[in-house]
Structure 1
Amino acid sequence: MPRTYSSPTRDEDARRTREAIVRASAKLFARDGYGKTTMADIAREAGVSVQTVHLAGPKAALLIAAFEVSFAGDEGRHGLSERPALVEIMARPSLDDALRGWLDYVARANDATASLVRAMTVAAETDEFAAAAVADLTMRRRADLGRAAQWLTSRGLLAEGDREQATDELNHLVGPETYAFFVTVSGWSPERYRAWLEDAVRARLARWNPGASSAGQASVLR
């Protein structure tokens, strides 16, 4: 059996190289779009060879990796609820603090990835890998929001029977498409969008939890 060899230094170099490639991909896809960005462009921006970029994955895969890192801070299919920042937010004793923290996180993530979402839409029209990846991201986003609806249920703010509809409504309210409509298309500032988002989510909470305790309502709706 051949012996395997692992070098911490080599592994760290590989990690830094990939990080540089993904970071360069995010910048160029957001600035120039999917069609105009080439692997050679990414290589120049990252300071590596074109061959190294190709070894990091096909163009569409780099786009998806760029989105994941820009949106959530790292690559991978694990849900938002597993990421340390969200774990801390959702564990806050105050419902109001947790809600505001969650909305801040979502608004910042949408702001950071709006241009990449447009690039992914374009890529999905012509690239089968991109189309499948976008479909997977859509499914994962709904699963994340389903867990958010479950969190609302556990806090007494949502009836069990309303969870599926609440998941769909949250998906619409906090989705990147809604952000793009208000900020990119309508010209709203990110701050105006964030204020609208909180008003909209709180309005839905008021409709979802008529049977919740007065104390619970006062905490999250004040």
Structure 2
Amino acid sequence: MTEQRKRRRYSSALRQEHARATRQKIATAAGRLMVAKGYADTTMAEVAREAGVAVQTLYSSCPGGKPSLAKLVYDITLAGDARPLPQSDRPAIQAIVDEPDPVRKLALYAAMATAILRRIKPVHGVLRAAAAASPADAGLQDVLAGIERERLTGSRGPAEHLHALGALRRGLAPGRAAEQIYVLTATENFEKLTEVCGWSEAEYEEWLAAMLAAALLEQPGGAGAR
């Protein structure tokens, strides 16, 4: 490898790290402002100032404007950081894949889902409230619709994993299993149980693990899904 090629790769890595750090700063600043002030009252100029970046840098990172900014905040909050690493490659998912026992797999999945819901609940709540108040905001409506499509698509991963292991209930197709995972892990359920019903997060996690196991797994001596 030539010295010039090494320098190019080093320079590229630095640019990528700088871009990642910038996205993280923007998402952190925007999320803080949106939760405190609401989506509608948070301006792009305020976010740029809070993040310590130029307004043009903000628009370069979020070319779709404010809805794109909202999606960036959601995605980075969901993942926990701005690293370009798919959820499927993250340690929590690998631990679930490596666990041999299906019941324990779902307990680990419930723990991961609870941690994600804890992070994402304030942002998701702000975006839902803004969308309800501004039904004509097509950009924001598209962001929320896209989030739900992504959640449903993402739910296919654990469903197909259990299916490949032969752990799903008899007669339960992976697609239908994914739909149940999607509904059980909805942010709204987490909110109702922890905020309205007063459950602790530990109680929610235990409930989610039990519900997932009951809905998805073959029960000893059971007749399977109809």
TM-score bracket for the superposition, by shorter chain length: 0.7 to 0.9
Matching residue of 1:197 = 208
Matching residue of 2:74 = 67
In 2, Cα distance between the equivalents of 1:40 and 1:187? 38
Q: Displacement of 1:20 after TM fit?
A: 0.6
Matching residue of 2:4 = none
Query: For the structure 1 residues 131 and 196, does the alpha-carbon distance in structure 2 shift closer, same or farther, using more than 3 Å as the test?
Result: same
Deviation sequence 1:161-201 (CA, Å, 0-9, x none): 41233222221111112112212333332222222212222
Which residue, 153, 156, 162 being the options, matches 1:146? Answer: 156
Which residue, 110, 127, 135 being the options, matches 1:120? Answer: 127
Matching residue of 2:197 = 186
Which residue, 88, 93, 102 being the options, matches 1:81? Answer: 88
Q: Displacement of 1:159 after TM fit?
A: 4.1
In 1, Cα distance between the equivalents of 2:17 and 2:157? 34
- Describe the SS at the equivalent of 2:40: coil
Aligned partners of 1:70 and 1:112 also within 8 Å: yes
In 1, Cα distance between the equivalents of 2:116 and 2:25? 20
Residue correspondence of structure 1 range 1-150 to structure 2 within 5 A: 7-8=11-12, 9-57=14-62, 58-74=65-81, 80-124=87-131, 125-150=135-160
Letter in 2 for 1:173: L
In 1, Cα distance between the equivalents of 2:215 and 2:16? 47
| Aligned-residue RMSD, C-alpha | 2.9
Aligned partners of 1:90 and 1:102 also within 8 Å: no
In 2, Cα distance between the equivalents of 1:148 and 1:77? 21
Q: Displacement of 1:115 after TM fit?
A: 1.2
Query: For the structure 1 residues 15 and 146, does the alpha-carbon distance in structure 2 shift closer, same or farther, using more than 3 Å as the test?
Result: closer
TM-score, normalised to structure 2's length?
0.77
In 2, Cα distance between the equivalents of 1:173 and 1:134? 18
- Describe the SS at the equivalent of 1:209: coil
Aligned partners of 1:114 and 1:176 also within 8 Å: yes
State the 4+ residue runs in structure 1 displaced beyond 6 angstroms: 76-79
Query: For the structure 1 residues 161 and 202, does the alpha-carbon distance in structure 2 shift closer, same or farther, using more than 3 Å as the test?
Result: closer
Q: Displacement of 1:49 after TM fit?
A: 3.0
Letter in 2 for 1:112: R
- Describe the SS at the equivalent of 1:162: coil
Letter in 1 for 2:39: Y
Letter in 1 for 2:28: R
Which residue, 183, 199, 218 being the options, matches 1:209? Answer: 218
- Describe the SS at the equivalent of 1:157: coil
TM-score, normalised to structure 1's length?
0.78
Q: Which runs of 5+ in 1 are unaligned?
A: 214-222
Residue correspondence of structure 1 range 152-167 to structure 2 within 5 A: 152-159=162-169, 161-163=171-173, 164-167=175-178
Deviation sequence 1:48-70 (CA, Å, 0-9, x none): 23333233221111111111111
Q: Which runs of 5+ in 2 are unaligned?
A: 1-7
Deviation sequence 1:115-146 (CA, Å, 0-9, x none): 11112223443432222222222112112212
In 1, Cα distance between the equivalents of 2:178 and 2:58? 38
Query: For the structure 1 residues 49 and 145, does the alpha-carbon distance in structure 2 shift closer, same or farther, using more than 3 Å as the test?
Result: same
Letter in 2 for 1:28: L
